Amino acid sequence: MDDPNTSGLPFSGSPVLPQTFDDSKLIQFQCRKGIACWNACCSNIDISLTPYDILRLKRRFETSSGEFLQRYTVPYEMEQNSIAGVKLRPVENGTACQFMTPEGCSVYEDRPTACRYYPVALLSLRRQDETTDRASYALVEEPHCLGHREPRRIIVSDYRKEQVLEEYDELARGWRQLILKKKSSGPSIGKPTKRSLELFFMACYDLDRFSQFVASEGFSNIYDLPPESLRNILCDDVELLQFAFRLLRQVLFGEETIPLRREAADERRLRLQDRKLRLEAEAAARRAAEQDGMYEDPDSGV
Ligand code: SF4
Ligand code: SF4
């Protein structure tokens, strides 16, 4: 099953049909137990997980996010040297999903967004001149999937309701917006530091470690959150996740989403000034060295 939960347009050769549509589109599809292709889609997986998918699954297994990530996922880079995503790890030496059983999906109530959408693909798009993303959809038609031949017709908005996708999309919206913003901002935002990329991974996917970070004294020394808000965030994983997206907008894009303590704000200002001066000095030194090289070179015969 290719991941139909994608944030870009389909590439040529992809099973995603090039026509995109809105959620009023009528499609013909049904997946049901007993169909001849039962489990074919789960036998060859390529499924990206949203932060909310991970939250649901780690809750189901009553495990920590760190253990879940280690056992059931593999990280990947969405773009070179940029933010990371997480995919479901197939069975050892195979391509099937670890959650597949002869009866079907063993985590059905908490199955990931991509599995819920299939065979519809969500295409979250954002133009450089737009501030909000737009959802459109496409249909994935893979030859092994016989669900397209079933007689049921359904409009995409009803299919999304049936698959509980409104909740899943709503709670992962902040994450999608971060990805779209990162992709559409290009060099104007600059290269994220290694630390901010690590924070992105922890805050989006390793929620238990992020919770410890938010509860730490170091965090409270920097961010000025009312004690009650902090308590609410730390008591509720879904709140914590939404807070993670807010914090990342501040760290990655400089949006002022969470107030800083005055001393921390002053320190940050000084640090940024220092960094700016250092970069300017380094650039000036480089220019001077290049000029020296140019004046020395004529006799060098090079
Ligand atoms: S999580 Fe469930 S539906 Fe998704 S690929 Fe695995 S077995 Fe299939
Ligand atoms: S109908 Fe499609 S989605 Fe359902 S089991 Fe078959 S291949 Fe998978």
- Do the Cβ atoms of 180 and 126 come closer than 8 Å? yes
Protein residue with least CA distance to atom 4, ligand 1? 115
Distance CA 152, CA 27 (A): 8
Task: Give the neighbor-by-neighbor strand order of the sheet with 73-77.
Answer: 48-49, 84-88, 73-77
3-class SS at 84? strand
- The residues facing 5 across adjacent strands are 122
Token pair recorded at residue 103: 């009866």
Give the atom of ligand 1 at the shortest distance from the alpha carbon of 39: 8
pLDDT value at position 8? 39
Phi-psi region of 30 (alpha: psi -120 to 50; beta: other; left: phi over 0): beta
Output the tens digit of pLDDT for each of the chain's 302 residues.
655 555 433 334 456 556 899 999 999 999 999 999 999 999 999 999 999 999 999 999 999 999 999 999 999 998 877 899 999 999 999 999 999 999 999 999 999 999 999 999 998 776 656 666 778 999 999 999 999 999 999 999 999 999 999 999 999 999 999 998 888 775 545 577 889 999 999 999 999 999 999 999 999 989 999 999 999 999 999 999 999 999 999 999 888 889 988 876 677 677 777 877 887 888 888 888 887 765 444 444 33
pLDDT value at position 26? 97
pLDDT value at position 132? 67
Token pair recorded at residue 135: 């959802």
Residue 144 CA, ligand 2 centroid: distance in Å: 8
Give the atom of ligand 2 at the shortest distance from the alpha carbon of 42: 8
Residue 86 CA, ligand 1 centroid: distance in Å: 15
Give the atom of ligand 2 at the shortest distance from the alpha carbon of 118: 3
pLDDT value at position 283? 83
Q: Is 105 in the pocket of ligand 2 (CB under 6 A)?
A: no
- The residues facing 105 across adjacent strands are 100
Q: Tell me the best of 57, 99, 116 to mutate to test the pocket of ligand 1, counting ligand atoms within 8 Å of each CB and taking the most.
A: 99
pLDDT value at position 293? 66
- What is the CA 34 to chain-centroid distance, rounded? 34
- Do the Cβ atoms of 172 and 46 come closer than 8 Å? no
Distance CA 181, CA 133 (A): 9
pLDDT value at position 159? 98
Instruction: Count CB atoms within 10 A of the CB of residue 137.
Output: 22
pLDDT value at position 91? 98
Report pTM: 0.83
Alpha-helical runs (H) found in 206-261: 207-215, 217-222, 227-235, 237-253
Residue 187 CA, ligand 1 centroid: distance in Å: 37
Dihedral pair phi/psi, residue 272, rounded to 5° = -65, -40
- Do the Cβ atoms of 138 and 20 come closer than 8 Å? yes
